[in-house]
Structure 1
């Protein structure tokens, strides 16, 4: 059986939502779970076993700079009297040619790692990257 190329999922049909609004400027979303393991010595063998001990979720959203709204929300952490900005992001892929690959995920407990304050290059469209950690996710 050969690969049906129309079934390959296109990222062009991905969307990112924050506070119920489609973030039309976001062109890339990534979430990864890093699994940490401890080595376990086992009697009677030279082979080391492994025990899962922790999972860390991290990711990035990136895209074109349109406003400072998200950066200002993240920046509230710089005021010692404000709480940290913790939020959720909903991301989905809905390629009409690949319905089996339809995916919608709620990314929970999102905390951003940096604040994109200012950056530009003459003659270039400004893009921003928002790395983050998260407390979990769920498929919707």
Structure 2
């Protein structure tokens, strides 16, 4: 029996129903360490940063409404994103909240004739919290 996964993304407590893809990940900053007698370079994690991306079907002006007014005033909005993946066949769901979200760009137009438009929204974030884990 096949089960449908349920994926959701919420921006500041508002469901993003036009979501097509979502990714948030931690990228590690590493420093090389050379050790006498070892041919293989060792590595030490010295920090990390949060990066991610959303792909939205172009059905509304969500990102322009979220960012444009703040940009005019030289401000940055306070953004929190919650991603959820529920798999009934796996007995649970995973929800992770990321905050301190800062978008890398704002697409004003990107369209092609006879094609449903998509908007790519890359971002960085400064905090994360596990809400539910499978």
| TM-score normalised by length of structure 1 | 0.81
Q: CA RMSD in A?
A: 2.1
Partner SS state of residue 83, structure 2: strand
In structure 2, list runs of 5 or more residues that go unmatched. Answer: none
Q: Distance in 2 between matches of 1:26 and 1:115?
A: 16
Q: Distance in 1 between matches of 2:96 and 2:58?
A: 24
Partner SS state of residue 97, structure 1: helix
- Are the counterparts in 2 of residues 60 and 132 from structure 1 also a CA contact under 8 Å? yes
Matched, 1:93 2:85: yes
Distance 1:45 1:71, change over 3 A: same
**In the TM superposition, what are the counterparts of 1:98-117 in structure 2 within 5 Å?**
98-100=90-92, 102-117=93-108
Partner SS state of residue 105, structure 2: coil
Give the superposition deviation at 1:6. Answer: 5.5
In structure 1, list runs of 5 or more residues that go unmatched. Answer: none
Match of 2:24 among 10, 25, 31: 31
Matched, 1:134 2:125: yes
| TM-score normalised by length of structure 2 | 0.84
Query: Is the strand fraction higher in 1 or 2?
Result: 2
Matched, 1:21 2:14: yes
Partner SS state of residue 94, structure 1: strand
- Are the counterparts in 1 of residues 63 and 106 from structure 2 also a CA contact under 8 Å? no
- Are the counterparts in 1 of residues 104 and 121 from structure 2 also a CA contact under 8 Å? yes
